Amino acid sequence: MSTTLPSIYPFLRYEDPEAALRFLKQAFGFEERAVYRSPDGAVAHAELTLGHGLIMFGGPDSANRMKMASSKQVPAKNQGVYIVVTDPDALHARAKAAGAAILMELTNTDYGSRDFSALDPEGNIWSFGTYQPLAAPPPKG
């Protein structure tokens, strides 16, 4: 696998980015890379890392420049973020202890992964598992 930097960085909008910051660190083990605050102290933009990945998020788009809603404003969820981890069992226990709503309990898949999915407090879907898509050649189909 390549050691080059990732070129895809998911970003989200939260109604309460301060609560999201606390939750993502406590429940899923993210670490702060950078947190930029507005003059009133609110989280304007945050960058969190987990393993070799990075996510970005901020609060409501008050200027509505990108026409994005927060997760709480979207009635149904049809996307999520998948994160490769080495110990999904330990992370699952951590997430449950932090109060994460578990959508899918730990599962051994037919393609050799061990996965689980959880919701953050605003309803974003986070999936964690051992499946590493870039570790093997793409399937023929």
96 within some domain? yes
* Domain of 98, in residue numbers: 11-59+78-132
The per-residue pLDDT for range 91-127, each reduced to its tens digit, is: 999 999 999 999 999 999 998 899 999 999 998 999 9
Amino acid at 42: A
Q: How many distinct structural domains can be found in the chain? A: 1
The answer to whether residue 19 sits within a structural domain is yes
Q: What residues have CB less than 8 Å from 11, skipping those under 6 apart?
A: 55, 56, 57, 58
Q: Residue 125's domain is classified under what CATH number?
A: 3.10.180.10
Q: How far is CA 53 from the centre of its chain?
A: 10
In a domain, 5, yes or no: no
Query: Is residue 17 in some structural domain?
Result: yes
pTM for the structure as a whole = 0.86
Domain-located, residue 4:
no
